[in-house]
Amino acid sequence: MKMNSEAFLNFMAGVKVFDLTQRLSIHTPPWPSYMPLGIQYFKRIAGAYMGQGANGQIITTSNHVGTHMDGEIHFHACGRSIGDVPMNEWIGPGVVVDISAEVSDYSLYTPEMLTRKAEIKKGDILIINTGYHKYSWDQEGSDELRYFVKHPGPGPGFHQWVMDMKIKWIGVDCGSADHPMNTIIRKWHPDLFIEAEKKLLEQFPGRSWDDVFTPAEYYQVMHIKLFPKKIVHAENLAGDIDLLSNQRAWIGCFPLRGIELESSMCRIVAMLPTQ
C-alpha cells in the first residue's frame, strides 16, 4: 500500500519509542583499561573563568563508555570510520531476543537459542538481551566485575551464522559482543578464566577452552572477523530492553557523525506502533 507524506506523519505520530540506551555518568565504567568519562564546567551562569551568562562544559572520554557503537576501524584499519557509514546502515527492521532465562555467568549462546525465541530474518539488526544489564553501574544489583568479566558470549560458529544471515549490526546488553574469555580479559583475570573453563567442561567434556575456541580463530572473533565484513556491534545496551523481549521492531542507532571516529557513544531506539 502506497503511503503519502501526510499518512506517514500521522502513522509516525502514533509510534511508541523505546530507549535502549544506558544512562551516562562520570560513574559509568568504561570497558576495562579505557579512559572513563570526565565532565568539567569551564563557565557558569553566575560567572566563572570566562564570564557569565551560560553554563558550558568540557568533556573528555574514550569512545567506549556506556552505550556505544564499535566502528569498523576499531579493529580494521582499512574499514570505514563511524562518520563514513551511511545513515541507512544504522536503521532498519530488527528483533530484540531475550535469552536471559537461559544464560548465566560465562554461558555460551547459540543461533538456535535465539531462533527458538523469535523470528530472525536475513539482514536484520539483532539485539541480544542476556539479562546482564541488571548488573550495570546504575542498577541495585550493580556488579562491575560480573558485567564486564563474567557475561555470556557467543559459542563456536556463532560468527559464521551472523555472516550467513547478513546481520546488519548486533547490540548486546553487556560489556562485549565477544565472550570475555576470548578477549584480553582472560589474561587480566586468570582465576576467573579457570572458573569459565570449568563451566565449559560441563558442555564440552574433556575439552579445554582452547580446544573449543582455537585462539587463531576466536580471539576477539566478533570484532576481528566481522568488522571487515561491515558487521559491527553496539555494547552496553539497557533502558527499555526488557519491554521488547522477543519482538520485532524498527531499530535505529544514532552515533556521532565523526569522520575520524573509530567508535562512538550513541543513542539506540526501537519503535513499534501503539496497539
Q: For residues 190 and 181, what is the distance between their CA atoms, to the nearest angstrom?
A: 9
What would the grid cell of residue 206 be?
574433556
Domain covering 5-29+63-273 in this structure, CATH number: 3.50.30.50
Predicted local confidence at residue 51, as pLDDT: 65
For residues 203 and 106, the answer to whether their CB atoms sit within 8 Å is no
Domain boundaries, the chain: 5-29+63-273
Distance of CA 72 to the CA centre of its chain: 14
> HSE on the CB side for 219, CA within 13 Å?
8
Q: For residues 15 and 27, what is the distance between their CA atoms, to the nearest angstrom?
A: 33
Q: Is the pTM of this model over 0.85?
A: yes
Predicted local confidence at residue 174, as pLDDT: 98
Predicted local confidence at residue 43, as pLDDT: 86
Task: Report the chain's terminal Cα–Cα distance, integer Å.
Answer: 20
> HSE on the CB side for 39, CA within 13 Å?
8
What 3-state DSSP class applies to 203? helix
Q: For residues 141 and 41, what is the distance between their CA atoms, to the nearest angstrom?
A: 31
What would the grid cell of residue 252 be?
535505529
Mean pLDDT in runs of 10 for the chain (275 residues)? 85 94 98 97 80 87 98 96 98 98 98 98 98 98 98 98 98 98 98 98 96 98 98 98 98 97 98 89
Predicted local confidence at residue 274, as pLDDT: 87
